[in-house]
Amino acid sequence: MLSVKSLHTDYAAAGGAVVKAVQDVSFDVPDGELFTLLGPSGCGKTTTLRSIAGLERPRSGSIALDGRVVYSSEKNIFVAPNRRNFGMVFQSYAIWPHMNVFKNVAFPLEVRKARPSRREIEQKVMRVLATVQLADLVDRDATKLSGGQQQRLALARALVMEPQLLLLDEPLSNLDAKLREAMRFELKRMQRDLGLTTIYVTHDQSEALALSHEIAVMSEGRIVQIGSPRDIYERPRNKFVADFVGSTNFIGGRVASAAAGNGRCGVATALGELNVQCVEALAKDAPVVISVRPEDVELYEAAPPREDGDNVCTGVVEAKVFLGDYLDFQVKVGDSVLLARVHPSLRTPVGHPIHVRMRAEKCVALAESSASRVAA
Amino acid sequence: MRAASRPPSPTLPHKGEGSPLWTPLLIAIAIALVAWLALVPLGFMLWQSVLSPETASSAARFTLDNYRTAYASADTARLLANSLKFALGSAALAFSLGTLLAWINERTDTPFKPLFFALTLVPLIIPGILFTVSWIFLGSPKIGIVNLVLQRIFATDTVFINIYSMPGMIWVDGLHYSPMAFLLMTAAFRAMDPALEESAMMSGATLPRILWRVTIRLASPATAAALLILFVRALESFEVPALLGLPVGIEVYTSAIYDAIHAYPSEIGLASAYGVALLVITSLCVFLNLRIVGRGSRYATVTGKGFRPRVMRIGRWRYVTAAVFLIYVLLVVVLPFLVLLWSSLQRFYSVPTLAALKNLTLDSYRTVFAYPAIGTAVWNSIVLALGSATLIMLATSILCWIVVRTKLPGRALLDNLASLSLVFPGLVLGLAIMVCYLALPIGVYGTIWIMLIAYVTRFMPYGMRYNAASLLQVHKELEESAAMSGASLATTFGRIVLPLLKPGLIAGWIYIVIVSIRELASSILLYSPGTEVVSVTIWEMWQNGQYVELSALGVMMILVLFCFVMLAEFFGRRFGMVEA
């Protein structure tokens, strides 16, 4: 298990100002799981990853893997990156251009203290190249590989050392969309097959949702929420998470009736009083924001059946965008505009009235002030 | 650029487990060694500048007269103005020519590029004294061939060009050192992603605009480094001001220093005081350069992605660029070489005429082969050039890495120290080293080692610049991924950093070999019987008025070095340019 405890990192910016890159970051990653650090650029996710790698020295905190402390400010321990035996894939891939595919992968084995025999190195390299499907390109110049091949080469180089921990720094961000999707599945399969504890850094929420056992959403150097992909997506703890992970509708309002036993409460909004899901206890009259995912805004040409707790209202189709496998509708309800993602079979023309239904469990109330709150 | 938003990070291990003990030790040794090489001559120069001339009747004593003469006389402003005018003019001319040619050679589909590349480097191997003499043969108002031809054509007595003038000095010096700018900018262009230029082309920019707005800007750390080297080198230039300026009374600092040393009694103190003025100007340049290097990561244009260099198809412009190369080669190679060749085939120097054609002879070559100690001089030149180039490039690759990549305290000091000898004119450095090792009884004086020390000290800054320019272009993640693979610092350096620096290392090595063979100003004060070098032999011939023998030796030297450059270029292309 990787355990990161209250990590703080700062560095001097130009002009002598101190930038607090990472503040009080703590998390545990159980063996064999893929843990993602998700956030916009500058949120401290890469600095956290580099601190785990040992490429950066935090100001304070501790990092331990399976009880082996690799960094601790208290005990004044700092293990150099080359002694940690963590594999890492860099965003630029950092493929050495003066070596061919084989030599790139063989490098980590060759520089070992206990260097394996030539035959053993060859076997290991070929096995790992077969895993990433690069075996036929073994003699190719590293610079003559395509983007996807370079990415797999970088991964092979990290895997060949049989690391205790795999660190991935936006490994898919330099690939085109189709390849990225293919590599996403491949990465997931490989990670699950090998059972390798993995830390994954990305700013792409769909990557994070697709790959992770657990996600930590970071903002301004802090972790704002940790949870399973489903948790993060369906039960965002605050406005930042809801907004950053996927697209969402925000509806402002005030708590009209406090939570009943089922975790529901009523919120007075511009659309009328809505039944919503409350993650935390909210006082009456507290200002809240309701987050509803576009795919949870259901549209009907005829009035929909209304079950207990459903929110139903009517609006006018203002605009729509055809996106192939789905349609985006902008629906004007009163003065507010809702974004709805629906099946392309719905063909209501622009300007026509339409019925809207939002199930209570899909509407999440977020306290206005919780935007900067830190998840426990 | 995403990398720019990353915080700077220390890549050296810190104390705690796994910190190799030799790292701080190595750095301490590096600083001590560089400080010894750079500071001892500096100390001596300062010491000398406050001493009165030593004569048979009176010992040297403390005085400020030298500074009074150097800075408070009526000539002070004129000397400074002349020096700056000359250095700026020469650096600007060399840089514009070198950059234009480097771009044409690296980025366009101009025909015969490999041939042009080799020819462009030829002026580098021509010692300054030979190049200057050949342009005296070409551009002198009285015997200059260019003037004579133009006068014949227009049937007039007008002097068309006069090489004995400030523009003449700038012309000869700038032309002579444009290949240096060419080499520096070639390395920069080779390390740059051509997609950046192609996207400018797609934006509708014309070729000159791309060159000016994108290419040169992206290469700006290399550009600044190149301009700095060219400017400082022009300030140090000795042969051109001595041969072209002094006869008509145009003095710059170096020729003033030369005059002072050759006065009787020798005014070493005054020369050193002039040296201090140069030191102030060049220190300023080094300081500027350090600031440029400091923000270099913004310009890291080589990443591990490894792009393929591509050239632009410039269509009919190819003929224009080829013509530019042809005219250039004519001016810097063909004309000077032909005039030397002509002179070497005469018994006494005379202007080319049909009558003189009948007197062609190889006598001068026979005289050269019979010249005393010519074999020793050639051997010494070769040993010194190869030794100093190899030592410098390997040592400065480590120094540069410390300066550019680490956050260690003292790295700025290290860079300043290693670049410090840029401020020493060759004459002053030679003098300082001579007196220093005369005073220190370690058996170096009078051997070839004192010249090796002088060469290493003098050319170390060039090694630093070459390595810094290429190190700045290597993405940090390439080293970090080696660390993550378990490689120690030493392994990473040997197997990742050095191979990636190879284009710059080779370019710098070639350059230092050439300038070492050409070196005159320091050697002239340090050689003793048995340790002469070729350039000293040429100097002796010039002093003796043996112009035709000088031409013969010059022609042979140029031919041999030309073959060397061809070979080096061949091996460079074969083994060095995988990633360029």
Q: What pLDDT, on the 0 to 100 scale, is given for residue B180?
A: 85
**Mean local confidence (pLDDT), A335-348:** 90
Q: What pLDDT, on the 0 to 100 scale, is given for residue A15?
A: 64
Contacts of B268 (CB under 8 A, 6+ apart): B48, B51, B53, B260, B261, B431
Q: What pLDDT, on the 0 to 100 scale, is given for residue B294?
A: 54
Q: In this model, does residue B1 exceed pLDDT 50?
A: no
Q: What pLDDT, on the 0 to 100 scale, is given for residue A107?
A: 93
Is pTM beyond 0.80? Reply is no
B291 contacts chain A (CB < 8 A): no
Q: How confident is the model at residue B578 (pLDDT cuts 50, 70, 90)?
A: very low
Q: What pLDDT, on the 0 to 100 scale, is given for residue A298?
A: 92
CB A78 within 8 A of CB A62: no
**Mean local confidence (pLDDT), B46-52:** 78
In this structure, what token pair is assigned to residue B85? 């005018």
Mean pLDDT of chain A: 88
B409 contacts chain A (CB < 8 A): no
Residues of A in contact with B300 (CB under 8 A): none
Q: Per the CB < 8 Å rule, is A111 touching B481?
A: no
Q: How confident is the model at residue B51 (pLDDT cuts 50, 70, 90)?
A: confident
Contacts of A48 (CB under 8 A, 6+ apart): A4, A7, A9, A22, A25, A37, A201, A218
Poorest-pLDDT segment among A17-21, A223-227, B49-53, B495-499: B49-53
Q: What pLDDT, on the 0 to 100 scale, is given for residue A217?
A: 95
The four Cα atoms A358, A363, A369, A373 give a dihedral, to 10 degrees, of: -150
CB A248 within 8 A of CB A293: yes
Q: Which residue of A has its CA nearest to B4?
A: A42
Residues of A in contact with B487 (CB under 8 A): 82, 107-108, 111
- Listed residue (A176, A245, A220) closest to A36, CA to CA: A245
Q: Per the CB < 8 Å rule, is A111 touching B488?
A: yes
CB B275 within 8 A of CB B63: no
Q: In this model, does residue B364 exceed pLDDT 50?
A: yes
Q: In this model, does residue B165 exceed pLDDT 90?
A: yes
**Mean local confidence (pLDDT), B334-362:** 83
Question: DSSP letter at A305?
Answer: P
Q: What pLDDT, on the 0 to 100 scale, is given for residue B7?
A: 39
Q: Per the CB < 8 Å rule, is A80 touching B502?
A: no
CA gap B22, A116 in Å, rounded: 26
**Mean local confidence (pLDDT), A161-185:** 88
Among candidates B307, B484, B489 on the partner chain, residue whose Cβ is nearest the Cβ of A88: B484
**Mean local confidence (pLDDT), B332-355:** 85
Q: In this model, does residue A144 exceed pLDDT 80?
A: yes
Residues of B in contact with A90 (CB under 8 A): 304, 477, 480-481
CA B183 to chain A, closest CA, distance in angstroms equals 22
Q: How many interface pairs between A and B have CB atoms less than 8 angstroms apart?
A: 143
A284 contacts chain B (CB < 8 A): no
| A268-306 pLDDT, tens digit each | 988 888 889 887 777 788 888 999 999 999 999 988 888
Q: Which helix (H) or strand (E) holds A168?
A: strand A165-169
Residues of B in contact with A91 (CB under 8 A): 2, 477
B580 contacts chain A (CB < 8 A): no
Q: What pLDDT, on the 0 to 100 scale, is given for residue A128?
A: 92
**Mean local confidence (pLDDT), A347-365:** 91
Q: Token pair 């650096």 is at which residue?
A: B91
Residues of B in contact with A80 (CB under 8 A): 13-14, 17-19, 483
Among candidates A79, A111, A161 on the partner chain, residue whose Cβ is nearest the Cβ of B17: A79
Among candidates A41, A94, A98 on the partner chain, residue whose Cβ is nearest the Cβ of B480: A94
B491 contacts chain A (CB < 8 A): yes
Quote ipTM for the complex. Answer: 0.79
In this structure, what token pair is assigned to residue B164? 């004995």
Poorest-pLDDT segment among B31-35, B191-195, B323-327: B191-195
Interface test with B, best of A9, A63, A111 (most B CBs within 10 A): A111
More confident of the two residues A118 and B437: A118
Q: In this model, does residue A370 exceed pLDDT 50?
A: no
Q: What pLDDT, on the 0 to 100 scale, is given for residue A4?
A: 95
Among A308-322, B376-390, B531-545, name the most confident range.
B376-390
The four Cα atoms B464, B466, B468, B469 give a dihedral, to 10 degrees, of: 160
A47 contacts chain B (CB < 8 A): yes
Q: In this model, does residue B303 exceed pLDDT 90?
A: no
Q: In this model, does residue B255 exceed pLDDT 60?
A: yes
Q: In this model, does residue B352 exceed pLDDT 90?
A: no
**Mean local confidence (pLDDT), B139-143:** 83
Q: Token pair 């699950």 is at which residue?
A: A192
The CA distances from residue B195 to A331, B201, B214, B220, B223, in Å, are: 44, 10, 11, 17, 20
**Mean local confidence (pLDDT), B92-118:** 86
| B60-86 pLDDT, tens digit each | 778 888 888 777 777 788 888 999 999
Among candidates B13, B307, B481 on the partner chain, residue whose Cβ is nearest the Cβ of A94: B481
Q: Which residue of A has its CA nearest to B5?
A: A42
**Mean local confidence (pLDDT), A75-83:** 90
Please report, rounded to a whole number, the percentage of residues in chain A having pLDDT higher than 70.
96
Q: What pLDDT, on the 0 to 100 scale, is given for residue B409?
A: 72
Alpha helices in B59-202 (DSSP H): 65-71, 75-107, 113-125, 128-139, 145-154, 166-190, 194-202
Characterize the bridge pairing of strands A60-65 and A2-12. Answer: antiparallel
- Helix, strand, coil % over all residues of chain B, rounded to 5: 75, 0, 25
Q: How confident is the model at residue B292 (pLDDT cuts 50, 70, 90)?
A: low
Among candidates A47, A78, A141 on the partner chain, residue whose Cβ is nearest the Cβ of B16: A78
Q: In this model, does residue A140 exceed pLDDT 70?
A: yes
More confident of the two residues B519 and B439: B519
**Mean local confidence (pLDDT), A328-357:** 91
| B439-475 pLDDT, tens digit each | 677 888 888 999 999 999 999 988 988 888 888 888 8
Q: In this model, does residue B19 exceed pLDDT 60?
A: no
Q: What pLDDT, on the 0 to 100 scale, is given for residue A16?
A: 66
Q: In this model, does residue B142 exceed pLDDT 90?
A: no
Q: In this model, does residue A110 exceed pLDDT 80?
A: yes
Rg, chain B, Cα only: 25
Q: How confident is the model at residue B289 (pLDDT cuts 50, 70, 90)?
A: low
Q: In this model, does residue B56 exceed pLDDT 80?
A: no
**Mean local confidence (pLDDT), B286-301:** 56
